[in-house]
Structure 1
Amino acid sequence: MRRTTNPLDPSQVSTRDDFIAFILNMRDDFKRNPDSWENQDLANFLEAVAAWSAEMDTFYANQEKEAPKDVNWTLFAEILFAAKIYE
């Protein structure tokens, strides 16, 4: 992951290794700061993922950014599904 003052900055993720480090940093943040997380169980977390995905165009518009156009939704789905069964 590139040097940043915030290890939870998604804009710093551009490679598979960056993504892995980002996920592990999220895990560590949840362990250290659970009260800073709105969604503290898997069901609520997945619901928030779905809700944010449905509204992401609005998020980007509010940030005065263009929403990504070439999103690999199949890969996201495969990652989430694999986490269900992977040890």
Structure 2
Amino acid sequence: MNKPLAQKLGFDEDTMWVHLVDGRTLGVPLAYFPRLLAASAEQRNRYVISGGGTGLHWDELDEDISVEHLLLGHGDRTSSPIAAK
């Protein structure tokens, strides 16, 4: 089985849309990731797709997300998440 690979991201008011290279689109509630939820639209859009599509990274927000874990329904797993505003 091939690993899921991100191609691009999009955002609306409460959802991150992950477009995969195989044509699937995954909608993930921003509430799963408090740093993204609290970030401005400009900050959310300053992402890097890392690992050839296996990861999503926001340097300014200190956020790293595994695409494979998104498909498994995993949210933020940090020990001290930032409270959503």
TM-score, scaled relative to structure 1: 0.26
Q: Which has the higher helix share?
A: 1
Of the two structures, which has the highest relative contact order with CA contacts closer than 8 Å and spacing of 6 or more? 2
Q: TM-score under structure 2 normalisation?
A: 0.26
Q: Which has the higher strand share?
A: 2
**Rg larger in structure:** 1
